[in-house]
Amino acid sequence: MVKILIIFYMHIYMSYPRIWINNKMKIILLTNHRVGTFVIRLLCKRNKNYKKITNQKELKNNYNIDEYQIYLFTRNPYYRFLSTFLLFLYEKPTSTLLGNPQHQNLMPNIKKKYFNKKRNCNNITNFNYCLDQFDKYFDFFYENRLECNDGHWLSQTHNIIYDADILSKTTFIKFEELNKEENIKIINKLFNINTLPKRHCTTYKFNKKLYLQPKLIKIVNKYYSDDLNILNYTKL
Protein backbone atom coordinates (compact mmCIF):
# COMPACT_ATOMS: atom_id res chain seq x y z
CA MET A 1 0.00 0.00 0.00
CA VAL A 2 2.85 2.37 0.87
CA LYS A 3 4.49 1.74 -2.54
CA ILE A 4 1.21 2.52 -4.30
CA LEU A 5 0.92 5.79 -2.39
CA ILE A 6 4.50 6.72 -3.30
CA ILE A 7 3.90 6.19 -7.02
CA PHE A 8 0.60 8.04 -6.86
CA TYR A 9 2.01 11.13 -5.18
CA MET A 10 5.14 11.17 -7.30
CA HIS A 11 3.03 11.64 -10.40
CA ILE A 12 0.73 14.35 -9.10
CA TYR A 13 2.60 16.64 -6.78
CA MET A 14 5.67 18.77 -6.58
CA SER A 15 5.68 22.23 -5.05
CA TYR A 16 8.32 24.22 -6.90
CA PRO A 17 9.36 27.70 -5.76
CA ARG A 18 8.62 30.31 -8.43
CA ILE A 19 11.15 32.08 -10.63
CA TRP A 20 10.76 35.71 -11.68
CA ILE A 21 12.08 37.12 -14.97
CA ASN A 22 12.69 40.77 -15.74
CA ASN A 23 13.43 40.95 -19.47
CA LYS A 24 13.81 44.72 -19.47
CA MET A 25 16.66 44.63 -16.92
CA LYS A 26 17.85 41.13 -17.92
CA ILE A 27 17.41 39.79 -14.40
CA ILE A 28 16.42 36.34 -13.18
CA LEU A 29 15.28 36.19 -9.57
CA LEU A 30 15.23 32.69 -8.09
CA THR A 31 13.25 31.96 -4.93
CA ASN A 32 12.96 29.22 -2.33
CA HIS A 33 10.24 28.34 0.15
CA ARG A 34 10.71 29.82 3.64
CA VAL A 35 13.21 32.34 2.31
CA GLY A 36 11.24 35.58 2.11
CA THR A 37 9.03 34.34 -0.71
CA PHE A 38 5.98 36.25 0.53
CA VAL A 39 7.80 39.59 0.33
CA ILE A 40 9.57 38.78 -2.94
CA ARG A 41 6.33 37.69 -4.59
CA LEU A 42 4.62 40.88 -3.42
CA LEU A 43 7.39 43.10 -4.80
CA CYS A 44 7.54 41.28 -8.13
CA LYS A 45 3.77 41.48 -8.58
CA ARG A 46 3.92 45.22 -8.03
CA ASN A 47 6.55 45.59 -10.73
CA LYS A 48 5.01 44.93 -14.14
CA ASN A 49 8.43 44.12 -15.61
CA TYR A 50 8.61 40.86 -13.66
CA LYS A 51 7.07 37.73 -15.12
CA LYS A 52 6.52 34.54 -13.13
CA ILE A 53 7.55 31.13 -14.47
CA THR A 54 7.14 27.70 -12.95
CA ASN A 55 10.50 25.95 -12.73
CA GLN A 56 14.06 25.62 -14.05
CA LYS A 57 12.96 23.50 -17.00
CA GLU A 58 10.77 26.30 -18.28
CA LEU A 59 13.58 28.75 -17.56
CA LYS A 60 16.23 26.91 -19.56
CA ASN A 61 13.89 26.01 -22.42
CA ASN A 62 12.77 29.57 -23.01
CA TYR A 63 15.60 31.83 -21.92
CA ASN A 64 19.33 32.09 -22.54
CA ILE A 65 20.45 32.39 -18.94
CA ASP A 66 23.90 33.60 -20.02
CA GLU A 67 22.28 36.87 -21.03
CA TYR A 68 20.84 37.48 -17.55
CA GLN A 69 22.08 38.35 -14.09
CA ILE A 70 20.77 35.72 -11.67
CA TYR A 71 20.06 36.33 -7.98
CA LEU A 72 18.90 34.08 -5.16
CA PHE A 73 18.01 35.16 -1.61
CA THR A 74 19.24 32.54 0.86
CA ARG A 75 18.64 31.68 4.50
CA ASN A 76 20.69 29.91 7.14
CA PRO A 77 19.74 26.21 6.66
CA TYR A 78 19.35 25.58 10.39
CA TYR A 79 16.81 28.34 10.84
CA ARG A 80 15.10 27.59 7.55
CA PHE A 81 14.50 23.98 8.61
CA LEU A 82 13.34 25.13 12.04
CA SER A 83 10.86 27.52 10.44
CA THR A 84 9.57 24.79 8.11
CA PHE A 85 9.25 22.24 10.90
CA LEU A 86 7.33 24.63 13.14
CA LEU A 87 4.98 25.42 10.25
CA PHE A 88 4.52 21.67 9.79
CA LEU A 89 3.61 21.27 13.45
CA TYR A 90 1.09 24.08 13.45
CA GLU A 91 -0.72 22.84 10.35
CA LYS A 92 -3.63 20.46 10.78
CA PRO A 93 -2.65 16.79 10.19
CA THR A 94 -5.04 16.68 7.24
CA SER A 95 -3.47 19.72 5.56
CA THR A 96 -1.74 18.92 2.27
CA LEU A 97 0.91 21.58 2.92
CA LEU A 98 4.43 20.20 3.41
CA GLY A 99 3.40 16.68 2.45
CA ASN A 100 1.70 16.34 5.81
CA PRO A 101 -0.59 13.38 5.01
CA GLN A 102 2.24 11.43 3.36
CA HIS A 103 4.39 11.72 6.46
CA GLN A 104 1.43 10.89 8.70
CA ASN A 105 0.67 7.74 6.73
CA LEU A 106 4.10 6.35 7.57
CA MET A 107 3.44 6.43 11.31
CA PRO A 108 1.66 3.67 13.27
CA ASN A 109 -1.57 4.85 14.86
CA ILE A 110 -0.17 5.01 18.37
CA LYS A 111 2.72 7.23 17.30
CA LYS A 112 0.46 9.32 15.12
CA LYS A 113 -1.90 9.87 18.03
CA TYR A 114 0.74 11.16 20.40
CA PHE A 115 2.64 13.05 17.75
CA ASN A 116 -0.50 14.97 16.81
CA LYS A 117 -1.40 15.49 20.45
CA LYS A 118 1.87 17.35 20.96
CA ARG A 119 2.08 19.06 17.57
CA ASN A 120 1.53 22.59 18.89
CA CYS A 121 4.90 22.89 20.58
CA ASN A 122 4.47 25.53 23.26
CA ASN A 123 7.51 24.26 25.16
CA ILE A 124 10.86 22.69 24.36
CA THR A 125 9.88 19.28 25.79
CA ASN A 126 7.00 18.90 23.35
CA PHE A 127 9.16 20.26 20.56
CA ASN A 128 11.85 17.64 21.16
CA TYR A 129 9.26 14.89 21.34
CA CYS A 130 7.74 15.85 18.00
CA LEU A 131 11.13 16.33 16.38
CA ASP A 132 12.19 12.88 17.53
CA GLN A 133 9.03 11.25 16.13
CA PHE A 134 9.32 13.24 12.92
CA ASP A 135 12.96 12.24 12.42
CA LYS A 136 12.16 8.51 12.68
CA TYR A 137 10.14 8.72 9.47
CA PHE A 138 11.71 11.67 7.68
CA ASP A 139 14.44 9.59 6.04
CA PHE A 140 11.93 7.37 4.24
CA PHE A 141 9.63 10.31 3.57
CA TYR A 142 12.45 12.39 2.06
CA GLU A 143 14.25 9.75 0.04
CA ASN A 144 11.22 7.92 -1.36
CA ARG A 145 9.05 10.94 -2.05
CA LEU A 146 11.74 13.20 -3.38
CA GLU A 147 10.03 13.86 -6.71
CA CYS A 148 6.77 14.79 -5.02
CA ASN A 149 8.22 16.34 -1.92
CA ASP A 150 7.04 19.80 -1.04
CA GLY A 151 9.82 22.25 -1.89
CA HIS A 152 9.81 23.49 1.71
CA TRP A 153 11.74 20.34 2.69
CA LEU A 154 14.23 20.35 -0.17
CA SER A 155 17.53 22.16 0.19
CA GLN A 156 17.85 25.60 -1.37
CA THR A 157 20.46 24.22 -3.79
CA HIS A 158 18.86 20.86 -4.61
CA ASN A 159 19.26 20.01 -8.31
CA ILE A 160 15.55 19.26 -8.61
CA ILE A 161 15.01 22.98 -8.03
CA TYR A 162 18.15 24.58 -9.49
CA ASP A 163 20.90 22.66 -11.25
CA ALA A 164 24.64 23.32 -10.95
CA ASP A 165 24.71 25.29 -14.21
CA ILE A 166 22.18 27.81 -12.89
CA LEU A 167 23.76 28.05 -9.43
CA SER A 168 27.22 28.61 -10.88
CA LYS A 169 25.92 31.81 -12.51
CA THR A 170 23.98 32.97 -9.45
CA THR A 171 24.74 35.74 -6.95
CA PHE A 172 23.61 34.69 -3.47
CA ILE A 173 22.11 37.25 -1.08
CA LYS A 174 21.97 36.10 2.54
CA PHE A 175 18.89 37.25 4.43
CA GLU A 176 21.12 37.56 7.47
CA GLU A 177 23.25 40.16 5.65
CA LEU A 178 20.66 42.38 3.98
CA ASN A 179 22.15 45.46 5.64
CA LYS A 180 25.51 45.03 3.92
CA GLU A 181 26.23 47.78 1.41
CA GLU A 182 26.60 45.41 -1.55
CA ASN A 183 23.25 43.76 -0.75
CA ILE A 184 21.48 47.09 -0.37
CA LYS A 185 22.68 47.98 -3.88
CA ILE A 186 21.32 44.70 -5.25
CA ILE A 187 17.94 45.20 -3.55
CA ASN A 188 17.77 48.70 -4.97
CA LYS A 189 18.55 47.34 -8.43
CA LEU A 190 15.91 44.60 -8.15
CA PHE A 191 13.05 46.57 -6.59
CA ASN A 192 14.08 50.24 -6.54
CA ILE A 193 14.07 50.26 -2.72
CA ASN A 194 16.89 50.11 -0.16
CA THR A 195 15.38 47.67 2.32
CA LEU A 196 12.89 44.84 1.97
CA PRO A 197 9.50 45.38 3.65
CA LYS A 198 8.86 43.61 6.93
CA ARG A 199 8.65 39.90 6.31
CA HIS A 200 5.38 38.00 6.55
CA CYS A 201 4.65 37.32 10.22
CA THR A 202 3.96 33.75 11.32
CA THR A 203 1.20 32.83 13.73
CA TYR A 204 3.70 31.11 16.03
CA LYS A 205 6.50 32.65 18.04
CA PHE A 206 9.69 30.89 19.06
CA ASN A 207 13.15 31.49 20.42
CA LYS A 208 15.50 30.50 17.60
CA LYS A 209 18.47 29.71 19.82
CA LEU A 210 16.40 27.72 22.30
CA TYR A 211 14.90 25.53 19.56
CA LEU A 212 18.22 24.92 17.83
CA GLN A 213 18.45 21.49 19.46
CA PRO A 214 21.14 18.79 18.81
CA LYS A 215 18.63 16.60 16.97
CA LEU A 216 17.69 19.47 14.65
CA ILE A 217 21.35 20.27 13.98
CA LYS A 218 21.98 16.62 13.11
CA ILE A 219 19.07 16.57 10.62
CA VAL A 220 20.25 19.76 8.91
CA ASN A 221 23.84 18.54 8.68
CA LYS A 222 22.59 15.36 7.02
CA TYR A 223 20.04 16.69 4.55
CA TYR A 224 21.22 20.24 3.90
CA SER A 225 25.00 19.89 3.78
CA ASP A 226 25.04 21.21 0.18
CA ASP A 227 23.38 24.41 1.34
CA LEU A 228 25.97 24.83 4.07
CA ASN A 229 28.80 24.38 1.57
CA ILE A 230 27.49 26.09 -1.57
CA LEU A 231 25.89 29.03 0.24
CA ASN A 232 28.83 29.35 2.64
CA TYR A 233 27.07 28.97 5.99
CA THR A 234 28.97 27.81 9.09
CA LYS A 235 28.36 24.18 10.00
CA LEU A 236 27.42 23.63 13.65
Instruction: List pLDDT tens digits, range 142-170.
Output: 877 655 567 889 999 999 899 999 999 99
Question: What pLDDT, on the 0 to 100 scale, is given for residue 215?
Answer: 93
- Percent of the chain with pLDDT strictly greater than 90: 62
Phi, psi of 21 (to 5 degrees): -115, 130
Q: SS3 letters for the chain?
A: CHHHHHHHHHHHCCECCCEEEECCCCEEEECCCCCCHHHHHHHHHHCCCEEEECCHHHHHHHCCHHHCEEEEEECCHHHHHHHHHHHHHHCCCCCCHHHHHHHHHCCCHHHHHHHHHCCCCCCHHHHHHHHHHHHHHHHHHHHHCHHHCECCCCCCCCCCCCCHHHHHCEEEEEHHHCCCHHHHHHHHHHHCCCCCCCCCCCCCCCCHHHHCCHHHHHHHHHHCHHHHHHCCCCCC
For all residues of the chain together, what is the average pLDDT?
A: 87
Q: What is the pTM of this model?
A: 0.88
Confidence of residue 225 (pLDDT cuts 50, 70, 90): very high
Mean per-residue pLDDT, 167-185: 96
71-107 pLDDT per residue, tens: 999 999 999 999 999 989 888 888 888 888 888 889 9
Q: Which range (16-30, 91-105, 194-208) has the least confidence? A: 194-208
Distance, in Å, from the CA atom of 185 to the CA atom of 107, rounded to the nearest integer, reads 48
Mean per-residue pLDDT, 103-129: 89
Looking at per-residue pLDDT, the higher value among 92 and 217 belongs to 217
Looking at per-residue pLDDT, the higher value among 152 and 51 belongs to 51
Residue 14 has pLDDT above 80, yes or no: no
Mean per-residue pLDDT, 105-119: 90
